[in-house]
Chain A
Amino acid sequence: MAAVDIPAKHDLAHGHDDHDHDHDHRQSFIRKYIFSEDHKIIAKQYLFTGLFWAVVGVSMSLIFRLQLGFPKMNMDFLKPILGGWIEEGKLNPEFYLALVTMHGTIMVFFVLTAGLSGTFSNFLIPLQVGARDMASGFMNMLSYWFFFLSSVLMFTSLFIETGPAAGGWVIYPPLSALPQAMLGSGLGMTLWLVSMALFIISQLLGGVNYVTTVINLRTPGMSFSRLPLTIWSFFFTAVIGLLSFPVLFSAALLLIFDRTFGTSFYLSDIYIAGEALPQNGGSPLLFQHLFWFLGHPEVYIVLLPALGITSEIIATNSRKPIFGYRAMIGSMMAITVLSFLVWAHHMFVSGLNPFLGSIFMFLTLIIAVPSAVKAFNYITTLWREILYSRRPCCSQ
C-alpha cells in the first residue's frame, strides 16, 4: 500500500515543480530534515527532543533532591540559574513543588512516552514489518510537531514570573483549579494544560499511525504470528495510548472549564483566601478517576516498549528464539486489558467506597501474573543459550 502511496505523492509534488526532473528524489533541506515525513528522521527528532527533556528533567530532580537530602545545605550556588527562587540559601517551597511537578510531567510524558515510544515505534515499526514508511507520513510529521509545540509551551512555563505548574504531576484539583491556592496554579497551570492537550493530540496522531501501519502495511508473509515481539509491544502500547489519552484530554478540558468559566465539575464547598466560593456539587474524585484512567495505563505505555525491546535483544543475542513467543504475546495482551481495570488502586484513601477498593485490590494483584510470566520466559530463553554480550545496536 505504501509502495503505491508514495510515488503518487511524488508525482503530485512534481506537477507543481518545474525543477530538474532528473533528480526525482532530491528534497529540500527543510523537507528532508525538519518538516520531514520520513519515519527515520521523525524518530530521530523524537529521540533528540526526548534526550533534551531527559537532561532538563534529571537536572530538576538533582536540584530538589539536594534540597531534600541536605536540608541544611546552602543552595546559593544555584542563584545564577534559579535567581529569585533561591530564598536565603533555600529553594522557595513553591518552586520546590514546581520542580517536583515538572520533573514528573517531563519524565512520564515527554521522556518515557514521547521519547521512548516516539523514537522506537517510529524507527522500528516500518523497518520490522517491511513497510516503506508509516501509513501516513504527513500525520506522523504532524505528530512530532504537535509534540514540539507542546514542548515549547511547557519549556516556556519554566520562565514565567509565577513559576510553572506546582500541584504535583497528577495536578489534583482544587489545588490546580484555584489560582489563589498557590502561585503555580496561575499562568503556569494554564500553560501546563494547553501543552498537555497538544501533547495528547500528538500521541493520538502517532498512535493511529502505529496501529494502522502494523495492521495494514505488513509485507506479504509477515503474519501476526510472525511479528517480532518489539512490534507487538509497540502495537499494544499504541492501542493503550489511543484508548486512554482521550480520557486525560477530557479531564484537562473540564479542568480548564472550572478554571476559566466558573463551572463546578471538580469544585464544591470551598472556602479559600477569605472567601466562600459559589461552586457546588462537583467532586475532586471525578478528576482522580479520569486522571488515573490514563495514569495507570500510562505505566504500561512506558513499560511495554521496554519489555518488547528486551525480548528481542535477549533472543537475538542468545542465538535462539524467545521462549514461549505466544505466551509473551498473550501476557502483553493480558497486561493491555488489565491495565484499564486497575486505575482506582491509586485512590484507596481518597475517600473511595471501600467496596470498590477491594475489587481494585484483586485486579491489581492479578496484573502481576502476566508480568511474572514474562520474567520466567526471559530466564528460560537465557537457559543454555550462547550469549554474545554486546551493545544491541552498532556492533560488528
Chain B
Amino acid sequence: MTNIILGVGIVLILIILVMIFRVQSLISIVRGAPRSRETTSNKVNAALWVVLLVLGSVAIIWSSWVAAEYFLPDASSEHGPKTDDLFWITMGITGAVFFATHILLFYFPYKYQFRENRKASFYPDNNRLEVIWTVVPAIVLTLLVLSGWKVWRDITSDAPEQAMEVELVGKQFNWLVRYPGVKQAELGKKKAELGNFNYRLIDASNEVGIDLTDENSFDDFMPREVHLVKGKPVLLKIRGRDVLHSVFLPQFRVKMDAVPGMPTKFWFTPTHTTKEMREQLGNPNFNFELACTEVCGRGHFSMRNLVIVETQEEFDAWAAKQQSWLATHRDYLSKVPANLQQKALQIIGPGEGDNAPASDSTAAPAPDAAAVAPATNPIKMVSNSSK
C-alpha cells in the first residue's frame, strides 16, 4: 500500500512540474516577450539526453552485476569452454561497439543543441566513410563467423567410435533414459548397442517402444536418471514421443530438440564428475541437470532429470547392478520371437515360471496416467542456479 501511495505521489509531482512548465511558457507568450528559439525547454531536453545516457549505463552495469551469478554456469564438457570463449569474444566486440555508438548518439544531441548563432553543417554524403563502415564491420563479422564455424563443425561432427550411447526419450512430462546393456558385451559382442524401437509398441510399461524382435534390446536397461563417465564421449540419441521437447544440459552446453518421428543426436565429453563440481563450487547439493527447453504443455516446468557424472569404475559398478528392462518385465518375453527366446533367457537370467512363457500378457495397457497429470519429479533438483 505504501508503495502505491509513493508511486501515485511521484506521478502527481511529475504532473505538477509539467503544469508549472506549461504555465510558464503560456505566461511568456501572453507577456509578448521576444521569443527566443533557444528555449529552456530545449536546454532541458538536451541535458536529458546525457542524463538518460548516464542513468542507462548505470542501470545496465548494475543489473549485469546483480545478475552475474545467473550468467553461464561453469562449463564441464570439452566443447563448453570453446563456445564460452566465442560467446564472450562476440559479447566483447559487439558490447564495445554498442557503448561507443550509444555514447556518440546521446552525446551529440547535447553537444550540438540549438544555438542562435550557429548553423548546422551541410554534410549529406561521403562515400569513403560509407565504404569504411561497411567494409570494417563486414570483415569483423566474417572473422567471427569463421571462428564460430570451426567450433560448430567440431561440435556437430560424427561421434568418435568409442562413444557410449544413451537414448533420451522426451514425453509429457519426463525424460526416459535407455542404456544398451553390458550383457551382450560379456557374450562376445564388440560394442553394446541399443535395441530397435517402434512407436506403435509403446504402452504403459514399454514406455519407449522397445522392439523385442531385435536381440540387442534384451539387455537394454532404463534407469531413472542419466549416468555419464568423466572423459568418455557420450552420444545422446534423442527422440520425442508425443510433442516437441528439447534436451537441455546447461552445464555441458548441450541443447538439441526431441522431435517425434525424427530421431536427433548430440555428442559431447563430460570433463568433471559431479563430486568434483561439488568441491569446485563449494556446494554439496550441486547436481547436473537435464531440463526440457521447448514448451511442451502443462507440466513443462517440472520436466527435468538428474545427470550424474562419475568415474569409469563407479559407472561400471552401477551399470552391472542394473537389471535389464526385459528382466523386470518378464511378461514381455512372449513378444520375443521363438528362435531368440533361448538367447533372451540367457541374457536376462532365469526367473520363476520362465519355462512356460506367458501366452500373452492379458493385462491391457493402462492409459498413460503421466500424459494427463504432470509428473511429480521424485528427485529434488538442487542446481547451482536454482534458488
Contact = CB atoms under 8 A, between A and B. Distances in A.
Interface string B12-28: 00000000000000000
A342 B190 CA distance: 44
A321 interface: yes
Contacts of B202: 271, 276
B256 A349 contact: yes
A384 B112 contact: yes
A323 interface: yes
Contacts of B121: 320, 383-385
Given A175-B243, A281-B261, A320-B123, 10 more contacts: A175-B297, A271-B199, A271-B241, A285-B259, A324-B129, A365-B144, A368-B141, A376-B101, A379-B104, A386-B115
A380 B123 contact: yes
Interface string A247-283: 0000000000000000000011111111010001111
A357 B256 CA distance: 13
B113 A174 contact: no
Interface stretch (A4-12, A206-214, A387-395): A387-395
Contact of A380 (B129, B246, B295): B129
A112 interface: no
Contact of A354 (B152, B260, B262, B374): B152
B156 A354 contact: yes
A322 B42 CA distance: 21
Interface string B21-50: 000000000000000010001100110110
Instruction: Give the residue among A168, A181, A357 with the most B Cβ atoms within 10 A.
Output: A181
B126 interface: yes
B357 interface: no
Interface of A: 93-94, 97, 100, 167-168, 172, 174-175, 178, 181-183, 267-274, 276, 280-285, 318-327, 349-351, 354, 357-358, 361-362, 365-366, 368-369, 372-373, 375-380, 382-390
Interface stretch (B55-63, B130-138, B276-284, B336-344): B130-138
Contact of B368 (A273, A323, A361): A273
B163 interface: no
Given A273-B367, A276-B199, A373-B130, A268 B148 contact: no
19 contacts: A93-B300, A182-B297, A269-B260, A272-B242, A273-B368, A284-B244, A323-B126, A324-B124, A326-B125, A349-B256, A351-B257, A368-B141, A369-B141, A373-B133, A376-B129, A378-B105, A386-B120, A387-B46, A388-B37
Interface string B196-223: 0001101010000100000000000000
Interface string B254-279: 01110111101000000000000000
Interface residues of B, number: 75
B331 to A, nearest CB: 18
B114 A386 contact: yes
Contacts of B294: 172
B184 interface: no
Interface in B128-162: 129-130, 133-134, 137-138, 141-142, 144-145, 148-149, 152-153, 156
A94 B296 CA distance: 10
Given A182-B297, A276-B202, A267 B153 contact: no
Given A97-B300, A361-B149, A383-B112, A349 B257 contact: yes
B231 interface: no
A361 B145 contact: yes
Contacts of B71: none
B372 interface: yes
Contacts of A320: 120-124
Contact of A365 (B141, B204, B365, B366): B141
B120 A350 contact: no
Contacts, number: 210
B205 to A, nearest CB: 12
Given A284-B260, A389-B113, A375 B144 contact: no
Contacts of A269: 199, 260-261
A181 B295 contact: no
Nearest to A315: B124
A394 B291 CA distance: 52
Interface of B: 37, 41-42, 45-46, 48-49, 97, 101, 104-105, 108-109, 112-115, 118-126, 129-130, 133-134, 137-138, 141-142, 144-145, 148-149, 152-153, 156, 172, 199-200, 202, 204, 209, 241-244, 246, 255-257, 259-262, 264, 294-301, 365-368, 371-372, 374
A117 to B, nearest CB: 25
Contacts of A272: 172, 241-243, 371
Nearest to A354: B156
Report the 9 A-B pairs with minimum CB-CB distance, sorted nearest first.
A268-B261, A389-B45, A354-B156, A274-B367, A382-B108, A269-B261, A351-B264, A272-B242, A175-B243
A93 B242 contact: no
B369 to A, nearest CB: 9
Nearest to B131: A327
Considering residues A93, A182, A368, A386, which has the most beta carbons from chain B within 10 angstroms of its beta carbon?
A386
Contacts of A380: 123, 126, 129
A269 B301 CA distance: 24
Nearest to B44: A389
Nearest to A324: B130
A175 B42 contact: no
Given A323-B125, A389-B109, A267 B141 contact: no
B42, B120, B126, B264: most-surrounded residue (chain A CB, <10 A): B120
Contacts of A324: 124-126, 129-130
A192 to B, nearest CB: 15
A256 B259 CA distance: 20
A255 to B, nearest CB: 14
Contacts of B45: 389-390
Contact of A93 (B104, B112, B264, B374): B374
Nearest to A388: B114
B374 to A, nearest CB: 7
A12 to B, nearest CB: 47
A326 B124 CA distance: 10
B152 A358 contact: yes
Contact of B243 (A178, A281, A376): A178
Given A323-B123, A369-B141, A375-B101, A386 B257 contact: no
